[in-house]
Amino acid sequence: MQAIDRLTIDSQLEHLQAEYVGTGHADLNRFGWAVNIQRDSYASYIGHYPLLSCFASAENESVGWERYNFMQKVLLPCGLPPEREGD
C-alpha cells in the first residue's frame, strides 16, 4: 500500500516537474540548476523591457539585437553539459 503511495507521489512529482519547467528536484545536479537559473533570467530580461534597454544602452546595441542575443543564449547558457557519471 505504502509503496503504491510513493509511486503515485513520485509520478505526480514527475508530472509537476514536466509541467512547470524549471522546478528543481532531488536529483538535480549543479549544471541543471545553473541552466535553469540562467534560462529564467534570460526570460525575465526579455520580458522586462526597461531591463532590456538598460543592457542595450550599456552595450551600445539595439534593443532588438539584445533580445535576439538573449534568446540565442538560452540554448547553451552555461556551456556544454558535463559528462554523465555512473550510468
Partner 1 sequence: MYLYSLTLQRATGVVCAVNGSFVGGKTQEIVVARGKTLELLRPDEAGRIQILHSVEVFGAIRSLAQFRLTGSQKDYLVVGSDSGRLVILEYNVAAARFDKVHQETFGKSGCRRIVPGEYLAVDPKGRAVMVAACEKQKLVYVLNRDAAARLTISSPLEAHKSHVICYSVTGIDCGFDNPIFAAVELDYSEADLDPTGQAAADAQKHLTFYELDLGLNHVSRKWSEPVDNGANLLVTVPGGGDGPGGVLVCAENFVIYKNQGHPDVRAVIPRRDDLPAERGVLVVSAATHRQKSLFFFLLQTEYGDIFKVTLDHEGGERVKELKIKYFDTIPVTSAMCVLRTGFLFAASEFGNHALYQFQSIGDGPDVEASSTTLMETEEGFQPVFFQPRPLKNLLRIDQVESLMPIMDMKVTNLFEEETPQVFTLCGRGPRSSLRILRPGLAISEMAVSQLPGTPSAVWTVKKNVNDEFDAYIVVSFTNATLVLSIGETVEEVSDSGFLDTTPSLAVSLLGEDSLMQVHPNGIRHIREDGRINEWKTPGKKTIVKVGSNRQQVVIALSGGELIYFEMDITGQLMEVEKHEMPGDVACLDIAPVPEGRQRSRFLAVGSYDNTIRILSLDPDDCMQILSVQSVSSPPESLLLLEVKASTGGEDGADHPASVFLNAGLQNGVLFRTVVDMVTGQLSDTRSRFLGLKPPKLFSAMVRGRQAMLCLSSRPWLGYIHQGRFLLTPLSYETLEYASSFSSDQCAEGVVAVAGEALRVFTIERLGETFNETVIPLRYTPRKFVLVPKKKHLVIIESDQGAFTAQEREENKKVFFEATGIGENGTANNGDQMENGGGDNDEEKDPLSDEQYGYPKAVSDKWVSCIRVLDPRTGETTSILELQDNEAAFSVCTVNFHDKEHGTLLAVGTAKGLQFLPRKSLIGGFIHIYRFIDDGKGLELLHKTQVDGVPLALCQFQGRLLAGIGPVLRLYELGKKRLLRKCENKLFPNTIMSIHTYRDRIYVGDIQESFHYCKYRRDENQLYVFADDSVPRWLTAAHHIDFDTVAGADKFGNIFFARLPQDVSDEIEEDPTGGKIKWEQGKLNGAPNKVEEIVQFHIGDVVTCLQKASLIPGGGECLIYGTVMGSLGAMLPFTSREDVDFFSHLEMHIRQEHPPLCGRDHMAYRSAYFPVKDVIDGDLCEQFPSLTPDLQRKIADELDRTPGEILKKLEDIRNKII
75 binds partner 1 (CB under 8 A): yes
Distance of CA 69 to the CA centre of its chain: 16
Task: Considering the complex, state which of residue 3 and residue 18 has its C-beta at the smaller distance from partner 1.
Answer: 18
Shortest distance (Å) from residue 11 CB to partner 1: 17
Q: Are 67 and 52 in contact (CB under 8 A)?
A: yes
Shortest distance (Å) from residue 78 CB to partner 1: 10
User: Residue 5 to residues 1, 2, 8, 12, 25: CA-CA distances in angstroms?
Assistant: 6, 5, 5, 10, 18
Interface ranges with partner 1 (CB under 8 A):
18, 20-22, 35, 39-40, 42-44, 46-51, 53-54, 56-65, 68, 71, 74-76, 80-84
